[in-house]
Amino acid sequence: MTLVVDSVRAELAALAGPSQVLTDPAACAGLAVDGKVPDCAVAPAKAEQVAAVLRYAGEHHLAVIARGNGTKLSIGNPPRRYDIALSLRELNRVIHYEPADLTISVEPGITFGEFQDLVGRDGLWLPLDPRGGAAASLGGIIAANAAGPLRQGLGGPRDMVLGLKIATTDGKIAKTGGRVVKNVAGYDLGKLLTGSFGTLGVIVEASLKLFPKPPERATFTVQAGTLGIARDLRRRILRSPLDTLRLVLLDSPATALLGDSAEARERPGAELWIEVGGSHRVIERCMFELRHLASAVGAPLARREEAEEAWEHISNLAHWLRQKYRDLTVLKAALPVAASEEFLSRAQQEAEAERIALASFAQVGVGIVHLCALQGTLSASLAGLVARLRQAAVDLGGRLVIEHCPVDLKSGVDVWGAGCDDLAAMRKMKSVWDPTEVLAPGRFVGSI
Amino acid sequence: MKSNGLSKELARIVGEDGVLWRGEDLMLYEYDALSSMRQPDIVVFPRNTEHVVQIVKLALRHNLLLVARGAGTGLSGGSVATEGGILLVFSRMKQILEIDLENQRARVQPGVVNLDLSLAVADEGYYYAPDPSSQKACTIGGNLAENSGGPHTLAYGVTTNHVLGLEVVLPDGEVIHTGASHWDRPGYDLTGVFVGSEGTLGIVTEATVRLSRKPEAVKTLLAIYNQVVGATRTVAAITARGITPAALEMMDGFTLRAVEEATHAGYPMDCAAVLLIEVEGLKEAVEDHADEIEAVCRENLAREVRRAKSAEERDLLWKGRKTAFGALGRITPNYYVQDGVIPRTRLPEMLEFIGSVEKKYELHIGNIFHAGDGNLHPLILYDERDREQTARVVKAAKDIIMRCVEMGGSITGEHGVGLEKSDLMPLIFSEVDLDLMGRIKTLFNPQGRLNPGKLLPTGKMCGELRGGLTGGGAL
């Protein structure tokens, strides 16, 4: 076995340069996915080298998992095979940037933090707050279609990708889309790759649409107390003329977790967090309207200064809570917008029955609910809870995905849930891109 | 199979009144807004998904070609049965199946007219955002196939940004449901692949689309310029101020005079160009942005900036813009419209270039642009009876599209590749790119019976425009 691994390393060194290949076993262990440790790791500095590594892996029946900074690798089923970790961190150049056109082309390894700093100097931003935060790589954000609560305002990665260059498993680099903001030439494979979790090809360049940053942003919170009042308020806000950037409902346990004061921890209740952006006048108007809407449901409104840290926690839940709760499980339900509060209430009941502490963060404007099971629990009761919550999501017209959990839970549950009637088409799509199952085999929906 | 036998088989599926096969009836379906091409062998009007499935299976059994069509307003030949076969026309599948305002979505059949969906929810304060100029006639199904845009896509995105899920009949008769009625269904985004696939991968029989809430305030500005370059410079200057208008349109003087004669919208007859700019949102934001935009226009030498004082005035200005192609159609036997895209900062250069092309080939070109996102619609006027002139039009169009490509742009921003530009695809895509698209097409459409000859190059005329240039559609 060692001989085989040695030859793989030698080949990778020949393809990407010796300094780009990682052989240290301890370092490789740090690149484990769901407990599976790769034999070696390679970090090519050029797109062509990525393609060459993929071709080599395909020819030798080796499995590759691409990674940026690894902030979202807990999403997915355990890999069937995993031989080579393909790090894209060295592929991190800015290829083309024209602030006046609001477009940029970058390599996938650039971190979100570096990226926002760069375009921020020109008053621009990519209006995302993805899981992984500043440490997330742009390639990973696209591969996971990682949209946080900011999707409420201006959409997710899917809406911002203008074009991609993709290294394919036959060792080639294919392009889709382009650099201009409007383009319908050819199949829109950028949409297909966005959210494909590195199972079709490896993104080696992305062209993105940028947005002007709002001159000011402000955060307001409303102590709704109950989910019923929160639902009433959410309806009023969504029907009002206000355009919110973020709209997140915290249930009582979540409010207590995030609570920055003793009072919040002691007497928690459901709380709605609202962010708006615009000129000073616009923010004043938003505050006026929100106060009016909040008082209509009998709840007090507060303006929160320095809310950035709280927003970072909310948008990067797994990272934040994992520091405190080692056996954290994060579930994501995607629901029709109107079902969010009902789902939260069902989740609370189910968790109480299982005596599992559950904190919920719901992007109520887009129907995305994150449930965090905090305590280390027996997998059996957790698996039972997941199954019932998944059923609750389906009953309400939605779906539920396990985004983070103890590895042993994954052995008995498909993290994505059952496939739909387009699963066969998805499998066929996989076979076009990756017929020999080089890329993250087994990790995606339907064990693709 | 003879049309007679086929018409009987199809009539068994959709009824006698759902099939057209006489030559004089088929004539109506031999063209779209690009040009007149060829008649389908037979036209069929399904009423539901089951009809479509049966028609598709019939075509499979007899190895017949299939082309889906909405209202036929497309500008790239996408809905013409250029190689014959069965034309499925969706005008009888025009039901809005469900309106769900709390979830801001609607479920529709593909034959629903774009504007009808907006009208159906207007009283409740909602609308469907993608607004092609042909929205009074074009269908959601056609919009999905072409991933259509429109003036207001500058701020709100094109069709694909407003679709949540689809029901699709594949060429083997299998029905699949992509996406969902919510965000983030796990799995590959097949919805994103089907939208804009120009009817070459499957036939959409139902769509769940997003509805948007109407803004509180709208202001429409008309900036009038004596020199075109002032207008084009204004476009980049507005973006540089951090303002994204809902729409930012440009028309040149030549086009305007035709528009004004046709619509009496109040456009000036003596200027070089106008910008039609719209800002939407909260009252306060709209006021601030309108003031700032007006200042930018004046800095860039607008001679006058008008604001629409009423909804009627606004509607009239937009009527002028949205019927501009038709207005030019009044003064020319034929026109050929391009759909190139360039980075918006290159507009001044591009306008100058189009001017030089006009001179070089001794043609008249009207310029109507979705300037805000760099999407150009130069309209080249000609008379198809003049073969020598028609040849010059083809050359001029090619020069313009080549320039778009050189500037890092695209050959189509919203009209689609269709038949017209399929052989231009190699200008922006490599063999590797096209091969991958070809494999995806083969995956869904293995025998190539679905909308043949569209989107991907035929290999016969690489780098050439096709379509015969006999256009002149009214929208």
For B:368-427, CB contacts with A below 8 A are 370, 373-375, 408-417, 421, 425
- Scanning the structure block, which residue is given the tokens 């809430």? B213
Distance of CA A356 to the CA centre of its chain: 25
At residue A75, the 3 state secondary structure works out as coil
Q: What residues of B are in contact with residue A428 (Cβ under 8 Å)?
A: 443
Q: What is the pLDDT of residue A2?
A: 59
Rounded CA gap, B111 and B117, in Å?
11
User: To the nearest whole angstrom, how far is the Cα of B2 from the nearest Cα of chain A?
Assistant: 34
Q: Which domain holds residue B238?
A: 216-312
Q: What is the pLDDT of residue A386?
A: 92
User: To the nearest whole angstrom, how far is the Cα of A186 from the nearest Cα of chain B?
Assistant: 6
Number of domains in chain B: 2
As to burial, measured by CB atoms within 10 angstroms (0-12 exposed, 13-18 middle, 19+ buried), residue A381 is middle
Residues A286, A231 within the same domain: yes
Rounded CA gap, B144 and B205, in Å?
11
Assess whether pLDDT exceeds 80 at residue B474: no
In a domain, B239, yes or no: yes
pLDDT, one tens digit per residue, over B219-257 is 999 999 999 999 999 999 998 898 999 999 999 999 999
Q: What is the pLDDT of residue B359?
A: 97
User: To the nearest whole angstrom, how far is the Cα of A78 from the nearest Cα of chain B?
Assistant: 16
CB nearest to B192's CB, from A180, A188, A416? A188
Query: Rounded to whole angstroms, what are the CA distances from A38 to A1, A6, A21, B149, B445?
Result: 13, 13, 12, 46, 38
Is A280's Cβ below 8 Å from some Cβ in B?
no
- Say yes or no for a CB contact (<8 Å) between A186 and B437: yes
High-pLDDT (> 90) share of chain A, %: 83
Residues B48, B186 within the same domain: yes
Is B349's Cβ below 8 Å from some Cβ in A?
no
Q: What is the pLDDT of residue B471?
A: 43
CB nearest to A337's CB, from B102, B192, B240? B102
Tell me the mean pLDDT in the region A296-313.
95
Q: What residues of A are in contact with residue B429 (Cβ under 8 Å)?
A: 175, 185-186
Rg for chain A, CA atoms, rounded: 22
Question: Do residues B214 and B131 touch, judged by C-beta distance below 8 A?
Answer: no
Chains A and B form CB pairs within 8 A to the count of 252
- Say yes or no for a CB contact (<8 Å) between A158 and B413: no
In a domain, B73, yes or no: yes
pLDDT, one tens digit per residue, over B60-116 is 999 999 999 999 999 999 999 999 999 999 999 999 999 999 999 999 999 999 999
In a domain, B469, yes or no: no
User: To the nearest whole angstrom, how far is the Cα of A22 from the nearest Cα of chain B?
Assistant: 31
- Scanning the structure block, which residue is given the tokens 């006026």? A288
Q: What residues of A are in contact with residue B176 (Cβ under 8 Å)?
A: 421-422, 424-425
Rounded CA gap, A195 and A158, in Å?
8
Type of residue at B453 = G
The domain boundary residue, chosen from A257, A278, A313: A313
Tell me the mean pLDDT in the region A351-370.
94
Select the residue from B105, B185, B188 to test the A interface by mutation, using most A Cβ atoms within 10 A: B188
| Strand arrangement of the beta sheet that strand B42-44 belongs to | B19-20, B42-44, B86-89, B66-69
* Alpha helices, DSSP H, located in A81-216: 112-120, 138-143, 151-154, 157-160, 189-193
* Alpha helices, DSSP H, located in B361-447: 387-406, 425-428, 431-444
In a domain, A103, yes or no: yes
- Say yes or no for a CB contact (<8 Å) between A184 and B146: yes
Look up residue A174 and give its two tokens.
Answer: 């294919």
- Say yes or no for a CB contact (<8 Å) between A397 and B182: yes
- Say yes or no for a CB contact (<8 Å) between B240 and A100: yes
Q: What residues of B are in contact with residue A159 (Cβ under 8 Å)?
A: 157, 161
At residue A225, the 3 state secondary structure works out as strand
More confident residue, A227 or B38: A227
Residues B230, B131 within the same domain: no
Question: Do residues A131 and A74 touch, judged by C-beta distance below 8 A?
Answer: no
For A:334-393, CB contacts with B below 8 A are 334-338, 366-368
Residues B157, B72 within the same domain: yes
Distance of CA B18 to the CA centre of its chain: 27
Residues B74, B156 within the same domain: yes
Residues B205, B57 within the same domain: yes
- Say yes or no for a CB contact (<8 Å) between A184 and B196: yes
Question: Do residues B418 and B454 touch, judged by C-beta distance below 8 A?
Answer: yes
Rounded CA gap, B277 and B298, in Å?
14
In a domain, B381, yes or no: no
- Say yes or no for a CB contact (<8 Å) between B412 and A184: yes
Assess whether pLDDT exceeds 80 at residue B469: no
Is A121's Cβ below 8 Å from some Cβ in B?
no
User: Which CATH number fits the domain that encloses residue B239?
Assistant: 3.30.70.3450
- Say yes or no for a CB contact (<8 Å) between B440 and A432: yes
Assess whether pLDDT exceeds 70 at residue B472: no
Query: Rounded to whole angstroms, what are the CA distances from B4 to A335, B41, B45?
Result: 50, 10, 17
Residues B188, B308 within the same domain: no
Residues A133, A154 within the same domain: yes
Sign of CA dihedral A73, A79, A82, A88: negative
User: Which CATH number fits the domain that encloses residue B147?
Assistant: 3.30.465.10
Number of domains in chain A: 4
Residues A68, A135 within the same domain: no
pLDDT, one tens digit per residue, over B322-359 is 889 889 989 999 999 999 999 999 999 999 999 999 99
Q: What residues of B are in contact with residue A182 (Cβ under 8 Å)?
A: 149, 153, 158, 341, 370, 373-375, 410, 413-414
Type of residue at B391 = A
The question of ipTM being above 0.90 is answered as yes
For A:229-268, CB contacts with B below 8 A are 235, 238-239, 241-243
Tell me the mean pLDDT in the region B168-196.
97
Question: Do residues B155 and A183 touch, judged by C-beta distance below 8 A?
Answer: no
User: Which CATH number fits the domain that encloses residue A382?
Assistant: 3.30.70.2740
User: To the nearest whole angstrom, how far is the Cα of A83 from the nearest Cα of chain B?
Assistant: 24
Rounded to 5 degrees, what are φ and ψ at B47?
A: -110, -15
More confident residue, B364 or A377: B364
- Say yes or no for a CB contact (<8 Å) between A185 and B189: no
Is A282's Cβ below 8 Å from some Cβ in B?
yes
pLDDT, one tens digit per residue, over B115-159 is 999 999 999 999 999 999 999 999 999 999 999 998 998 999 999
Instruction: Report the greatest alpha carbon distance in chain B.
Output: 69
Question: Do residues B396 and B380 touch, judged by C-beta distance below 8 A?
Answer: yes
- Say yes or no for a CB contact (<8 Å) between A188 and B195: yes
Residues A281, A189 within the same domain: no
Rounded CA gap, B341 and B372, in Å?
11
Q: Residues, chain A, total?
A: 448
Question: Do residues B228 and B349 touch, judged by C-beta distance below 8 A?
Answer: no
Instruction: Report the greatest alpha carbon distance in chain A.
Output: 72
- Say yes or no for a CB contact (<8 Å) between A184 and B440: no
The domain boundary residue, chosen from B188, B214, B240: B214
CB nearest to B176's CB, from A181, A242, A425? A425
Helix, strand, coil content of chain B in percent (nearest 5)? 40, 20, 40
In a domain, A154, yes or no: yes
User: To the nearest whole angstrom, how far is the Cα of B413 from the nearest Cα of chain A?
Assistant: 4
Q: Which domain holds residue A112?
A: 94-212
User: Which CATH number fits the domain that encloses residue A115?
Assistant: 3.30.465.10
Q: How confident is the model at residue A269 (pLDDT cuts 50, 70, 90)?
A: confident
Residues B150, B38 within the same domain: yes
The domain boundary residue, chosen from B287, B312, B337: B312
> Mean pLDDT across chain A, nearest whole number?
94
